[in-house]
Amino acid sequence: MENKLKYEKSLYLLQHADNPVNWFPWGKDAFSEAKSQNKPIFLSIGYSSCHWCHVMAHESFENDEIADIINKLFIPIKVDREERPDIDSVYMLAIQVMTGHGGWPLTAFLTPTGKPFFGGTYFPPDDRPGHVGIKKILQSVSSAYHQNINEITEYTEKLIKTIQKMQEETRYQETIQDDILTKGMQSFTNSFDHNHGGTGYQPKFPQPPLYEFLLKYHLREKNQQAYNMTDITLKKMQEGGIYDQIGGGFHRYSTDMSWTVPHFEKMLYDNALLIKLYTHAYQINPNEFFRETVTQTLDYVIREMMSKSGGFYSSQDADSDGTEGKFFVWSLHEINSILEPELSEIAKTYFNITEQGNFEGFNILTKRVPIDQVAAKFGITHDECKLKIIEIEKILFQKRKMRVHPLCDTKIIASWNGLMLSAFAEAGIVFKCPEYIQIAKKNANFLLSNMVADNDIYRIYNEPTQFPSIKGYLEDYAFIVSSLFTLHEVTLETKWLKQAINLGNQMIALFWDSEKKCFKDTNYNHETLFANPQTTDGNVLPSSDSVATEILIKMAILLNNDDLRQMAQESVNSKYLQLIESPLSNVSWLSTIDSFLSMPTEILIIGDKEKSKELLQSIYHSYLPNRLIIGLRSDQELPFKSPLFTNKTQINDLPTAFVCQNYVCDTPTNDPIQLLSTIFKESNV
């Protein structure tokens, strides 16, 4: 049996195309049907790599009895949250207001006009302790809708007014102070898990924006505790099961305090942000541990998440062969049968492999025993032990390749590609790996050729496909523009800077709300919903409006534009009171406020880009987040007018660097060591 999802391109929707549930995609047809039949709407939102989405699908949506109830009593609609984050945002907010929590799969019951009146997340098929079954809920909701339509209509109106009031509350503060950064640091310190890193509760998410803020706070305040908390967390995560010890890359989150048992899906955005975070940690403390984590994760992305044309895929499933985590776990018997006795014994010690295992009788590999300790146990040197561990990893990797692989969702999402583009570019310059920079450039060319038209960014690209149809949201513009600035900074190629400014201007034109003095997530190209989609959490992904504000700060400097400076000020002011009340509610904004309060160091490099590499490399030798790098060939036309470029020429006929603040520059230099010294002086580092 096929339903109306069979014509969709989304992998998640296609996974439900053979359900006995008569799914509609989101659109006018579904709502017209609901109105004509006077049926409420059953809305289910998820994504292809979501484990609990699969569980609910297998238990309920593939169940003929439950499907018959849904089809008889409701108009069912399926939405891929990665395609339509606006729909996901407003209905998730409604569920959170109604129930106090959220998550996926999101289950919402709507009136035929799309107004929510009941919902939750995962529901089992039948009643369980602590959970009402979906069968009972379906019958009860349908009865309530038809018997109490007036009360439901009144409730939905009150709910929507509550949400709209929340969104329209004036949170504007005319002045800001840097004590908000200290409050953010103190708030996290109070919740920090000193044993395992991360927050002191579970499930544990990596939350890269949080640790990016801590690294900036460490630099700003010379606060060693901020760095130490980051260092502990990064090491504990990489040693744990949340990190794929054999194939590289991070799973989405850990179900326990010690990062041991993950939900096994791998998301492009998590890995992009963690690559950047470990790269920045390496700039502060050049530990090979950080380098290995970055290179292993990038190798995983190249091998499994990159298309031939240069786009990056969105995710890999938690399940394979119908079982969660099956691809990643090992039995003791399997280890003994694959490895020769000596290697088997070393593997069992190093990766903590036991008969009982740590996950349903199997072993999720972790690395909690230092190599020196393993070497001492087996009477070999550190280097000998390291080589044997590398051999073990190669054997297990080859064996694992023979298993059924988790399904990869090959849709290409603009915003997430922007994050990975930045990750490759920064890793390439920091670790002196031109291949990574070439991959970043290939991805940029792919995005600009396939997902940008007439200065408009499109959100989704499915290979092979006609030109994508979903117009980009603020996060798509912000993350891509930010990545193009990064790509210019690591290559000094002017074309990326020009593209960043063009798309940055388009982002401002489409998403800046001059009345509320802040960015909005959607624009007139997008569907009008019962509430405005808003970024509410900047702890897993950077908040799109915070990234957009960082872009305003850069463009204001580059273009010497007071209007952009004023927008940046207004955008920061619009978030300040929210952060005062709850500093960790949207932590990426703390990093943006740090950028705003700091006077960014302007670094101009003039000269042939190949000959300028030593100067550029010296800048990335250290962690210097609040700086702007601009590269020009001495003989090229200026890409735009700016006081940064006034009277700037090469000295000694060599590539020359100028270090400036507020357009006032220090003595220019050809010497990489002198350049770094000048940057430290100007940046007060």
Q: DSSP string covering 554-565, please? A: HHHHHHT-HHHH
Q: Please give the pLDDT value at position 648.
A: 87
E strand map for 102-190: 106-110, 116-120
**pLDDT tens sequence across 527-547:** 989 888 887 666 789 999 999
Q: Where are the beta strands (DSSP E) in 298-394?
A: 315-316, 319-320, 323-324
Confidence class for position 116, pLDDT limits 50, 70, 90: very high
What's the one-letter identity of residue 443?
A: N
Confidence of residue 551 (pLDDT cuts 50, 70, 90): very high
Contact 75, 43 (CB under 8 A): no
- The confidence band for 684, taking pLDDT boundaries of 50, 70 and 90, is low
| Six-digit token string for 537 | 């959490």
User: What pLDDT, in 10s, does the model give residues 9-44?
Assistant: 999 999 999 999 999 999 999 999 999 999 999 999
Q: What average pLDDT score do residues 297-312 get?
A: 98
CATH value at residue 469? 1.50.10.10
Contacts of 628 (CB under 8 A, 6+ apart): 489, 554, 557, 558, 600, 601, 602, 603
Whether 566 and 659 share a structural domain: no
pLDDT at 685: 60
Q: Give 446-497 pLDDT, tens digit per residue.
A: 999 999 999 999 999 988 766 677 999 999 999 999 999 999 999 999 999 9
Element housing 97 (H / E): helix 85-99
Rounded to 5°, the CA angle 585-590-593 comes to 140
Asked if the peptide bond before residue 203 counts as cis, ω within 30 degrees of 0, the response is yes
Of 163-177, 193-207, 325-339, 636-650, give the range with the top mean pLDDT. 325-339
More confident residue, 567 or 608: 567
Domain boundary among 151, 168, 185: 168
345 and 439 in a single domain? The answer is: no
Positive or negative CA dihedral for 30, 33, 34, 35?
Answer: positive
511 and 424 together in one domain: yes
Task: Point out which residues pair with 458 in neighbouring strands.
Answer: 471
Other Cβ atoms less than 10 A from the Cβ of 335: the count is 21
Two structure tokens written together for 206: 């990596």
Angle between helices 544-559 and 494-511 (to 10 degrees): 120
Q: Is 155 exposed, middle or buried (0-12, 13-18, 19+ CB in 10 A)?
A: middle
CATH of the domain at 36: 3.40.30.10
**Same-domain status, 81 and 136:** yes
In a domain, 540, yes or no: yes
Q: Where are the alpha helices (DSSP H) in 492-587?
A: 494-511, 544-559, 562-581
Residue 380: how many other CB atoms lie within 10 Å: 16
Q: Is the dihedral of CA 504, 510, 514, 518 positive or negative?
A: negative
Please report whether residue 630 resides in a domain: yes
Report pLDDT for 585: 79
What local confidence, expressed as pLDDT, does residue 169 receive?
Answer: 67
Q: Are residues 420 and 376 in the same domain?
A: no
- Please give the pLDDT value at position 466: 63
Each as own residue / partner, the long-range contacts of residues 129-133 (CB below 8 Å, 24 or more positions apart, any chain) are none
Q: Reply yes or no: is the peptide bond before residue 129 cis, omega within 30 of 0.
A: no
Which of 547, 579, 597 terminates a domain? The answer is 597
Q: What distance in Å separates the CA atoms of residue 47 and residue 304, rounded to the nearest whole number?
A: 19
- The answer to whether the Cα torsion of 65, 66, 67, 71 is positive or negative is positive
Mean pLDDT for 214-223 is 97
Question: Which three-class secondary structure state does DSSP give residue 154?
Answer: helix
**209 pLDDT exceeds 90?**
yes
Question: Are residue 386 and residue 443 in the same domain, yes or no?
Answer: no
Q: How many CB atoms lie within 10 A of CB 428?
A: 24
Residues 44 and 153 in one domain: yes
Please check whether residues 261 and 149 belong to one and the same domain.
no
Residues 566 and 533 in one domain: yes
pLDDT beyond 70 at 381:
yes
| Cα distance between residue 198 and residue 193, in whole Å | 6
The per-residue pLDDT for 448 is: 98
User: Residues with Cβ < 8 Å from 643, sequence gap 6 or more?
Assistant: 560, 663
* One domain for residues 38 and 109: yes
Q: In 3D, which of 431, 510, 432, 54 has the Cα closest to residue 265?
A: 54
Res 200: pLDDT: 86
- Maximum pairwise Cα distance, the chain: 86
181 is a domain residue: no
Do the beta carbons of residue 408 and residue 470 sit within 8 Å? no
Distance of CA 16 to the CA centre of its chain: 26
Which pLDDT score, from 0 to 100, does residue 543 have? 94
C-alpha to C-alpha distance for 113 and 147, rounded to whole angstroms: 18
Same domain, 16 and 158: yes
Which of 673, 573, 656, 561 is CA-nearest to residue 617?
673
pLDDT in tens, 56-86: 999 999 999 999 999 999 999 999 999 999 9
Report, in angstroms and rounded to the nearest whole number, the Rg of the chain calculated over CA atoms: 26
Residue 90 counted as domain residue:
yes
Looking at the domain assignment, is residue 187 inside a domain?
no
Q: Is residue 221 included in any domain, yes or no?
A: yes
* Backbone dihedral angles phi then psi of residue 474, each to the nearest 5 degrees: -55, -40
Q: Quick one: CA torsion of 135, 136, 142, 147, rounded to 10 degrees?
A: 160
Task: Report the amino acid identity of residue 115.
Answer: K
Q: Which residues are within 8 A (CB) of 53 and not within 5 positions of it... i.e. 6 or more apart?
A: 12, 46, 47, 104, 105
Q: Which residues share a beta bridge with 406?
A: none
Of 312, 318, 279, 309, the closest CA to residue 295 belongs to 279
- Judge if 338 and 438 occupy the same domain: no
Indicate whether 609 pLDDT > 90.
Answer: no
- Among 323, 329, 650, 630, which Cα is nearest to 486's? 630
In a domain, 192, yes or no: no
Integer Cα distance of 137 and 139 in angstroms: 6
Region 354-375 average pLDDT: 97
pLDDT at 683 over 80: no
HEC assignment per residue over 226-290: HHHHHHHHHHHHHHCCCECCCCCCECCEECCCCCCCEECCEEHHHHHHHHHHHHHHHHHCCCHHH
Q: Are 407 and 317 in contact (CB under 8 A)?
A: yes
* Structural tokens at position 573: 């002011």
CB atoms within 10 A of CB 17: 16
Residue span of the structural domain in which 667 resides:
601-683
Quick check: is 200 in a domain? Answer: no
Regarding predicted confidence, which is higher, 365 or 531? Answer: 365
In this predicted structure, what is the pLDDT of residue 380?
97
In terms of pLDDT, which residue wins out, 583 or 613?
613
pLDDT of residue 269 exceeding 80:
yes
pLDDT band at residue 643 under the 50/70/90 scheme: confident
Q: Are 6 and 14 in contact (CB under 8 A)?
A: yes
Last residue in a domain, options 535, 564, 597? 597
How many structural domains does the chain have? Answer: 4
- At residue 665 the predicted structure's pLDDT band, cuts being 50, 70 and 90, is very high
Buried b (16+ CB within 10 A) or exposed e, 633-667: beeeeebeebebbeebeeeeeebbbbbbbeeebbe
